[in-house]
Structure 1
């Protein structure tokens, strides 16, 4: 049975902090819905109704483009290793790019990375738990270094060039505003 809450409790915060992967869901008013797995050391619970998620450079930039159109985001965690539970947070998010004043302060919460593309400052308006009884048991083996190594190999200039050539639009053609501010 699903349960809904206005905010994250200490127990739910500890559950989030124990997970090695989470999923983000966004969508524009039309086009495709994006659900993407996220890992690494990229999320901080900053309070009962606030999460900071640092988005690292990758092949797509759907979240930024979707939030520029409709500001709504769902984050989801699954208990793969122990207690069967699914946790979702629903809310809105402020998109911060490296050019924005508040980016550096929030970026300092995470390990240094030349691939840091955006930080989403998420305001939670609903928390929901459900049983997770159908979620399989899975063992955590470790982090992948591929994305970290790729960004470090590219360096800041190479990552910026990648943004210019690969991260300007969503797969549906919506702008992501990676290199300029929204009009």
Structure 2
């Protein structure tokens, strides 16, 4: 079984500017783990952001460690983003501004890039996804629907646990 939790990234890390968001995710994960046996927590979180975010903790990783559950980051690194042509939203926004894309062209580029990211995330888990495994994927909200479509196409059993949005974003 595959479980998905979609989040705004501010839920995933703790730093001096963190509000209640990381604790909301921690509470959700701990509650969920109390009722479900999970083999792996797979997290889409770019560790390269450490300098910019100055985080002291990544919530999914800590919860996995505290509950003796395997944890793995499944985000593409910069070379994999280049190889798979996965672009950050902010980078696509810059391209839109510089190239004069229409809003439709921009939305198509975002959708295409997100689709490639979703395919990458599932490929990163292909050895972990089988009928005997129970995997919890923490990913960005924007990727939940696409991941569900891919899981359905591959006949995986899945459930969306929650989609956490920060009101201030």
TM-score by length of 2: 0.23
**Which gives a bigger RCO, structure 1 or 2 (Cα 8 Å, sep 6+)?**
2
| Structure with higher helix content | 2
| Structure with higher strand content | 1
